[in-house]
């Protein structure tokens, strides 16, 4: 299966369905879950930060993550940038199997900042069973340094990884939407 963390209303899920590879989305927002349900997307309404990782072990081919951008976005207060060292620490700790999220969260200026570290919790758990085969993550451009940290860890686990900034307008989307992207694969 393909696991979509912070699945939102289903953009990644729609693309996967078109490709014949439907996913399971984890999403907490009621209205996003209703939107997903209306088009038949499988969704578990939950907080990604509290959901256990064990149900996915031995079953996950791909992992998608688009953590909430409000803490990092230029449209907000950008407290994610203030919290950036804490998020980097959380990623380092989670990759090593240490869960320091609760302690680090108390120091964050925006509680949403640390959500950008959550994919590492899933990746660490899945890596124990040589999963997933591939990873795709996106966020606002200011998260690129964090994606580069993820890339270094994933390379150490045997992934081939690319990170960079892409603009959706260059791919036919009728808006300028620059995003930090991480693409990783164990098999290609």
Catalytic residues: 69
Q: In whole angstroms, give the CA distance from residue 145 to residue 131.
A: 24
- Cβ pair 122, 137 in contact under 8 A: no
Q: Find the farthest-apart pair of alpha carbons in the chain and give their distance in angstroms, rounded.
A: 43
Nearest of 56, 11, 53 to residue 32 by alpha carbon:
11
CB under 8 Å to 114, separation ≥6 — which residues? 49, 83, 86, 87, 90, 101, 104, 105, 108
The CA-based angle 66-69-74, given to 5 degrees, is 145
């Amino acid at each position: 299966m393909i696991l979509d963390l912070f699945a939102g209303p289903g953009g990644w899920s729609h693309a996967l369905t078109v490709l014949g590879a439907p996913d399971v989305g984890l999403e907490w927002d009621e209205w996003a879950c209703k939107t997903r349900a209306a088009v038949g997307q499988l969704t578990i309404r939950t907080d990604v930060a509290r959901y256990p990782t064990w149900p996915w072990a031995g079953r996950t081919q791909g992992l998608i993550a688009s953590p909430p951008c409000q803490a990092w976005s230029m449209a907000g207060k950008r407290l994610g940038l203030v919290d950036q060292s804490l998020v980097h620490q959380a990623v380092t700790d989670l990759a090593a199997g240490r869960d320091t999220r609760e302690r680090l969260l108390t120091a964050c200026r925006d509680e949403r900042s640390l959500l950008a570290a959550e994919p590492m919790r899933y990746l660490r758990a899945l890596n124990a069973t040589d999963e997933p085969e591939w990873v795709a993550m996106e966020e606002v451009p200011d998260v690129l340094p964090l994606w580069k940290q993820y890339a270094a860890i994933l390379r150490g686990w045997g992934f081939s990884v690319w990170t960079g900034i892409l603009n959706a307008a260059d791919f036919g989307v009728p808006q300028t939407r620059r995003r930090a992207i991480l693409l990783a694969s164990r098999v290609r």
